[in-house]
Copies of this chain bind each other. A is one copy, B any other.
Amino acid sequence: MPKSQLRSQLNLSESGEDYLKAIFQLREELRRTHDSDLVTTNALAARLGVAPGSVTGMVKKLADLELVTHAPYRGVNLTEVGERLALELVRHHRLLELYLTRVVGFRWDEVHDQADALEHAISEEFEDRIDEMLGNPAYDPHGDPIPTKEGQITGPELAPLAAMIPDPDRIYTIVRVLTQDPTLLRYLDQLRLTPGTHIRLMARAPFGGDLRVATETAECLISPLIAGVMLVMHSGH
């Protein structure tokens, strides 16, 4: 079923769409770290900047629409339809981020908030046009995978640089950064630590100290916190 039908049939509010997307993203994060599928009320409230009571209310509404399953006092999960809808929103968001950087000329630290506003307002036709204009891209400016029109989302196995063992002979490729913080994004840009860059992890200071990272042209020190949001892949060589 094309998304336009799904979205217009359900006539979901912008707020409802935000909840769905937040549930999807929090679940992704849970799967990366823990092994859970259930998103808690508090986590959702924090993410959306809303009181916990508001979350319970909206979650009930979404459960009535069969977009989520709700186990009271335990957590929320997406149904198949809910996940599909969430993926369509994530697709909008990430396509827009890439469009805003590649076509409109924004920096990668400027696009998240704009995409958050635009993702609810664009038409399916607009989505299709920019997808084509961008050559059916698979990744957004931060390396986040863009779901296909059919709702498929894939990507290589990635691990944070923070989990790697220093080895000057091993080359990694930066694939994705797990942050939308403009300040951090600008800082990474300045150090040329952006998706696509080849790096080597030279050394790690003891007791949670900084990591020494070499690009092809320079070396720098980054905190474990930063290394935790940089997802890398083993590079050939």
Contact = CB atoms under 8 A, between A and B. Distances in A.
A105 B129 contact: yes
Interface residues of A, number: 17
Specify how many copies of this chain sit in the oligomer. Answer: 2
Contacts of A130: 104
Contacts of A106: 125, 129
A123 B129 contact: no
B129 A114 contact: no
A117 B123 CA distance: 9
Interface string A115-142: 0011011110110011001000000000
Contacts of A121: 117-118, 120-121
A29 interface: no
Interface in A123-163: 123, 125-126, 129-130, 133
A110 interface: yes
| Most chain B Cβ neighbours within 10 Å, of A100, A104, A120 | A104
| Most chain B Cβ neighbours within 10 Å, of A114, A120, A121, A122 | A121
Contact of A104 (B117, B118, B129): B129
A104 B129 CA distance: 7
Contacts of A125: 106, 110, 114
A105 B130 CA distance: 10
B126 A122 contact: no
A106 B129 CA distance: 9
Contacts of A105: 129
A8 to B, nearest CB: 13
12 contacts: A100-B126, A104-B130, A104-B133, A105-B129, A106-B129, A114-B122, A114-B125, A114-B126, A117-B121, A117-B123, A118-B118, A121-B121
